[in-house]
A and B are shown apart, each in its own frame.
Chain A
Amino acid sequence: MSKYYLNYLDELESEAIYILREVWAQFENPVILFSGGKDSILVTHLAKKAFYPSKIPFALMHVDTGHNFPETIQFRNDLVKKLDVKLIVGSVQKSIDQGRVAEERGKNATRNSLQITTLLDAIEENKIDCAIGGGRRDEEKARAKERFFSHRDDFGQWDPKNQRPELWNILNGKHFEGEHFRAFPISNWTEMDVWNYIKRENISIPSLYFAHEREVVFRSNSWIPVSDYLNLEESEQIEKKKIRFRTLGDITITGGIESQADNLDKIVQEVSAMRKTERGDRSDDKRSETAMEDRKKQGYF
């Protein structure tokens, strides 16, 4: 009998597949929130497994800040083509042009929090009743409180103090019209689990995750990539460094780390020796102690 147990990666995989299938069974029009980052790529990979030999029954939805790494967009388009799924793009630029949101000003201006409006607009416009995200509870203290099925009211807001209890493996996705859910199938994965699994399954990810030469400036303790959207300070110097990214977000706020890890083996090794959290290089979380909690309550990912 002793061989009838799963190792932890298989158990996490099985749990995620179970959640993805529940989303499909309980909702009318679910989408996968796809940023081009490793976590949303992982969720997409798990969805492929969950519904094989059918194709993925969800559209991918990308909230496009317009401040992208070109590599991410290329990767997204290739993947959509390969999987033969529908792509929905919510554009922050369009929200700005329509006067729904205003661009931030100043040196550290980003479009990060502007995404909330675009995301909620896209959810409403496309009548989406469940948006599947790659959020993980180990990422941030507000995310540690997330349910697998997380309720959003008709303003798209999260009420962390009044969440539905989730017992055993029974998920309650019942909702009224206008409300929607966020589903987090990889809640219980850590950064290390994600990398170990990507390596084991040999999942392809954007080249940005591997060490490469790039022009960068040093800001808030990490290497910010030079792009058309970066407002350079006079004191800042452009340097060429061999770096890689641990997370991918808006190009203006995603800091890289100096690294020689140019394949998955080396990345897994590097991540296991890391002494800083991955979101430590994200300036969107550094703004205040409760930056993530505040954004999440408004409807952020």
Chain B
Amino acid sequence: MEINNNQLLRFTTAGSVDDGKSTLIGRLLYDSKSIFEDQLDSVSKTSAKKGHNGVDLALFTDGLKDEREQGITIDVAYRYFTTPKRKFIIADTPGHIQYTRNMVTGASTANAAVILIDARHGVIEQTKRHSFIASLLNIPHLIVCINKMDLVDYSEEIYNSIITQFEEFSSKLITKDVCFIPISALLGDNVVNYSKNMDWYHEGTLLSVLENLHISSDINKIDARFPVQTVLRPQSEEYRDYRGYAGRIASGIYRVGDEVAVLPSGFQSKIKSINTGEHEIQEAYAPMSVSITLEDDIDVSRGNMIVRKNNQPEMEQEFDVMLCWLANEAAKSRAKYTIVHTSHEERAIIKDVVYKMDINTFERDSEDSNLSMNDIARVKIRTTRRMMLDAYRDNRNTGSIILIDESTNETVAAGMVV
């Protein structure tokens, strides 16, 4: 497999206080030498104050005052480290059921999800919930770490039985790339350095797996989708007739000369030029931010999408999404919400709740149609005008929507087009 140096890899870790998530992140940062002296000093002092022997690695991920006091993670926190091969962004999310919304948030942009299983307890409800969310959000790679191997005598038998447990339920998930690693975050086995205690394990450490995941194909490079964010119209003599359509390519590749259509109008033209800043380029691809000019003078504005003539998204006014309800307040039936899809906004109602998903058992409940915080359900949405949609499993950027409550301006739901 080819290793692309210097790429950016985003991954999410979900877990609760007890399964060693904070310790694992602390271990990754510490062993990859991403901890600075003053951070180490401060954590050593706090560790001593709390009566720990040595450095409590979990303290490196300490956050807000309330979180420190309660020893829990409330909100998504982002951590960074770099190795000679890659830059990593960790979305560190809380794992309790009441924080499903944060897990969904952290998962939405991740290339990979790291799922922790306590070797003493095997697959539990929480494992299934985390895996389900990772799969629902279509995270391309799943890394299952069987942690606390030191507490089960580094037993290969226990490790294998947990893999079997996991595979029993994971056949229902859509994530194809799944791997397993036996680790001890506390002692450092197979996190950054190879374990001397598990000579039966021959695959990579967690860090080497993260460094070598093939992520170039994680973004759809087939279907060209360019949502227009804003139109650049310079006020200078030199650029009097310039109309540049500024945006970030959501998927696919664009070249100068491509025959394109502008949606929703359907007007056609050709790409005249592509710019990144002052540089003119011949070809651009996701996720580049560029500005595009067209041969013809047609009406293009924010919320429009420039696509290739022969490869267009579905234009729908009524469609199904898997919706995750994020707000404290429950969904109001037939209330109007603002729906946002790429740079395009319309008004929408939730027409029908098809079924609710029990994220612990994967069972569908078509009787209950109430949506409250952390619920996940398949719903029918109707919008005032047509949306330019792809299925989420084909395209994370053009298959995702959010709903905003017009009375509070809060983001109340996130949806994935089915």
Q: Which residues of A line the B interface, CB within 8 A? A: 1-2, 4-15, 17-18, 21-22, 24-25, 48-55, 137-138, 141-142, 144-145, 160-161, 163-170, 172, 174-176, 187-188, 190, 192-193, 274-277, 280, 290, 293
Contacts and interface: CB of A to CB of B under 8 A. Distances in A.
B65 A290 contact: yes
A137 B80 contact: yes
Contact of A160 (B36, B75, B287): B75
26 contacts: A2-B2, A6-B8, A13-B289, A15-B287, A25-B343, A48-B277, A49-B276, A50-B289, A51-B232, A52-B278, A53-B242, A54-B233, A141-B62, A145-B64, A165-B102, A167-B105, A169-B248, A169-B397, A174-B338, A176-B409, A188-B80, A190-B82, A277-B36, A280-B36, A280-B38, A293-B65
A26 to B, nearest CB: 10
A48 B277 CA distance: 8
Given A11-B287, A141-B62, A276 B38 contact: yes
Contact of A5 (B7, B74, B109, B289): B7
Contacts of A48: 277
B343 A166 contact: no
A8 B217 CA distance: 16
B221 interface: yes
A21 B247 contact: yes
B404 interface: yes
Contacts of B11: none
Interface residues of B, number: 77
- Interface residues of chain A: helix, strand, loop or mixed (majority): loop
Contacts of B108: 167-168
Given A10-B288, A166-B411, A172-B409, 6 more contacts: A5-B4, A11-B7, A22-B229, A53-B236, A141-B63, A169-B248
B210 interface: no
Contacts of B343: 22, 25
A13 B302 CA distance: 21
B299 interface: no
Contact of B414 (A17, A161, A165): A165
Contacts of B242: 53
Contacts of B276: 49
Contact of B234 (A5, A53, A144, A161): A53
| 8 nearest A-B residue pairs (beta carbon) | A49-B277, A8-B8, A17-B289, A174-B409, A8-B87, A7-B6, A280-B38, A167-B108
Contacts of B2: 2
B298 to A, nearest CB: 20
Contacts of B248: 14, 17-18, 21, 169
B400 interface: yes
Contacts of A5: 4, 7, 215-216
B64 A172 contact: no
Contacts of B411: 164-167, 172
B239 interface: yes
Interface in B199-229: 215-217, 221, 229
A21 B42 CA distance: 39
Contacts of B36: 274-277, 280
Interface in B28-79: 36-39, 62-66, 74-79
B264 to A, nearest CB: 18
Nearest to A192: B82
A193 B6 CA distance: 12
Contact of B396 (A145, A168, A276): A168
B302 A277 contact: no
Contacts of B159: none
